[in-house]
A = this chain, B = another copy of it.
Amino acid sequence: MFSKACEYALRAVIFIYIKGVNGARLSIPEIAKEIDAPLAYTGKILQTLTREGVIASVKGPNGGFFVDPQAKAVTLADVVKAMYGNDDVLHTCVLGLKECSDKFPCPIHAQVKGYRDHVRKVMENTTIRSLVNDLSKGRTFLKNVRQRKSFRK
């Protein structure tokens, strides 16, 4: 659905909101490790997110990435837009038709339209902040837990 870069971006921003809400600053290595993404590539992505105002950063010792306390609420769609430059990906037709719409539907428009609209609304209406609670309580997860072969008791 989304590019790797966008997936990493979403995971990174969510992570920063968990650990960085109190103003704490997160380094590239910390973030890359937590979201299970390549280190240098994660740096590139964080750079883009900062430039686009999704997160904030400071250089130097004790620097890193954090949540700008006076920025307005960031949604999942905001992250997507920051990474692609637009939110076309939330609107595109499954068959790739540029003009697919209710009035000019592709053969499976009726069947999937509801889904696409729903996902778009979820992305537009879900703030990153709203995801933090479940995550920090361990009800949702940001990366795959390695399955252990067995436990010694």
Q: Which positions in A face B, CB cutoff 8 Å?
A: 1-2, 4, 7-8, 10-11, 14, 76, 92, 94-100, 104-109, 111-112, 114-116, 118-119, 122, 126, 131, 134-135, 139-145
Contacts and interface: CB of A to CB of B under 8 A. Distances in A.
Contact of A145 (B104, B106, B115): B104
**Interface-centre pick from A92, A94, A142 (highest chain B CB count, 10 A):** A94
A134 B76 CA distance: 36
25 contacts: A2-B94, A4-B96, A7-B95, A7-B96, A8-B96, A10-B94, A10-B95, A11-B95, A11-B96, A14-B107, A100-B141, A105-B140, A106-B141, A107-B131, A107-B135, A107-B140, A107-B141, A108-B122, A108-B126, A108-B131, A111-B122, A112-B119, A114-B115, A115-B116, A115-B119
A107 B143 CA distance: 10
Contact of A112 (B11, B122, B139): B122
How would you classify the secondary structure of chain A's contact residues: helix, strand, loop or mixed? loop
Contacts of A76: 108
A143 B97 CA distance: 6
Given A111-B122, A115-B115, A126-B111, A140 B106 contact: yes
A34 B98 CA distance: 15
A1 B140 contact: no
Contacts of A109: 140
A54 to B, nearest CB: 16
